[in-house]
Amino acid sequence: MWSRTRLVLCMLLAVSVILGLTGGLVLGQAFPRNETLYTGGKQWGPVSNWNPFMAGNQAMGTIGLCYETLFLYDPLTDQFIPWLAESGKWLSSTVYELKVRQGVKWSDGQPLTAADVKFTFDLGKTAALNITSLWDWLDNIVQVGDYYLEFHFKQALYQEWANNLYNIAIVPQHIWASRNATTVSTGANENPIGSGPYLFFAVDQVKMVWVRNDNWWAKTALGKSVAPKYIVDLVNTSNENSLGLVLQGQEDLNNNYLPGISTLLLGGYALHTYFPGAPYHLAANTAWLDINLQKKPMGDVNFRKALAYAINVADIVSRDYGNMVQAANATGLLPTWDKYVDQAVINSLGTSYDPVKAKQTLTAAGYKDVNGDGFVEAPDGSKIALKIIVPNGWSDWMAAIQIISSNAQAVGINVQPNYPDFNGYLDARLNGTFDLAIDNQQQISNTPWSYYHFIFYDKLADIPSTQGGNYGRYNNPTAFALVSQLDKVPTSDLAGMKAVISQIQTIQLTDLPIIPLWYNGMWAQMSTAYWTGWPSSADGDAHYLPVTWNGYWNMTSILMLCNLTAK
Chain residues binding Mg ion by CB under 5 A are 369, 371, 373, 375
Is the CB of residue 52 less than 8 Å from the CB of residue 45? Answer: no
Q: Closest distance between Mg ion and the C-beta of residue 367, in Å?
A: 10
Partners of 290 in the β-ladder: 437, 514
By the 10 Å C-beta count (0-12 exposed, 13-18 middle, 19+ buried), 289 is classed as buried
Minimum CB separation from Mg ion for residue 413, in Å? Answer: 10
Write down how long the chain is.
Answer: 567
Three-state secondary structure along 113-182? CHHHHHHHHHHHHHCCCCCHHHHHCEEEEEEECCCEEEEEECCCCHHHHHHHHHHCEECCHHHHCCCCHH
Are 365 and 380 in contact by the 8 Å Cβ rule? The answer is no
- Cα–Cα dist 1/4, whole Å: 5
Q: In the complex with Mg ion, which residue's Cβ is closer, 215 or 371?
A: 371
Q: Of 368 and 567, which has the nearer Cβ to Mg ion?
A: 368
- Strand, helix or coil for residue 68: strand
The answer to whether the bond into 297 is cis (omega within 30° of 0) is yes
Q: CA-based angle 180:183:185, to the nearest 5?
A: 105
Residues 166 and 559: their CA atoms lie apart, in Å, by 14
Q: Do the bridges between strand 514-521 and strand 436-439 make them parallel or antiparallel, or are there none, so unpaired? A: unpaired
Q: Which is nearer to Mg ion, 240 or 373 (CB)?
A: 373
Residue 363 C-beta: closest distance to Mg ion, Å: 13
Nearest by Cα to 323 from 262, 369, 371? 262
Q: Which is nearer to Mg ion, 290 or 377 (CB)?
A: 377
State how far the Cα of 46 lies from the Cα of 235, in Å rounded to an integer: 7
Minimum gap (Å) between residue 372 Cβ and Mg ion: 6
Q: Which is nearer to Mg ion, 109 or 374 (CB)?
A: 374
Q: What does 202-249 look like in DSSP terms, one character per residue?
A: EE-SSEEEEEE-TT-THHHHTS---S-SEEEEEPP--HHHHHHHHHTT
* Shortest Cβ 303–Mg ion spacing (Å): 15
Would you say 302 or 503 has its CB closer to Mg ion? 302
Q: What is the three-class DSSP state of 173?
A: helix
Q: How far is the CB of 297 from Mg ion (least distance, A)?
A: 13
Q: Cβ closer to Mg ion: 371 or 431?
A: 371
- The single-letter code of the amino acid at 426 is L
Task: Output 372 or 477, the one with its CB closest to Mg ion.
Answer: 372
Give the residue with the Cβ less far from Mg ion, 296 or 339.
Answer: 296
CB of 382 to Mg ion, least distance (A): 10
Could you give the CA distance from residue 373 to residue 376 in angstroms, rounded to a whole number?
8
| 176 or 375: CB nearest Mg ion | 375
To Mg ion, the closest distance from the beta carbon of 312 in angstroms equals 22
* Smallest separation, CB 301 to Mg ion (Å): 22
Helix (H, G, I), strand (E, B) or coil at 149: strand
Least spacing, CB of residue 311 vs Mg ion, in Å: 20
Going edge to edge, which strands form the sheet with 514-521? 326-327, 514-521, 283-291, 436-439, 386-389, 415-418
